[in-house]
Amino acid sequence: MGMPSMPELLIILAIVVLLFGAKKIPELAKGMGSGIKNFKKAMKEDDDEEVKSASVETKGEKRVEQKGEAGESAKPEEKKEA
């Protein structure tokens, strides 16, 4: 069950031409092409948003870590003084 051979592809093409007509086929192809283009654009925008949110989270985590390190260093000093 591999790829259809040339005679099978010609039969499929003939059926498509009979169903939709020769004038409709370019319009259908154009519609499919623009749909695929919009889908790829949406996927790329979604990936870009994920990268931006990941970088914001990373910056926030670094700030928390820096505050945590400063807090940890202050605690032993307080214990020494007490």
pTM for the full predicted model = 0.45
Residue 79: the pLDDT is 52
Indicate the DSSP class of residue 22.
T
- pLDDT tens digit string along 10-53? 999 999 889 888 888 889 889 999 999 999 999 988 887 777 77
Residue 67: the pLDDT is 62
Residue 36: the pLDDT is 95
Residue 13: CB partners within 8 Å, gap ≥ 6? none
Query: Once rounded to an integer, what is the mean pLDDT over residues 64-71?
Result: 58
Helices marked H in the chain: 6-20, 24-81
Query: Once rounded to an integer, what is the mean pLDDT over residues 55-71?
Result: 61
Token pair listed for 10: 């010609």
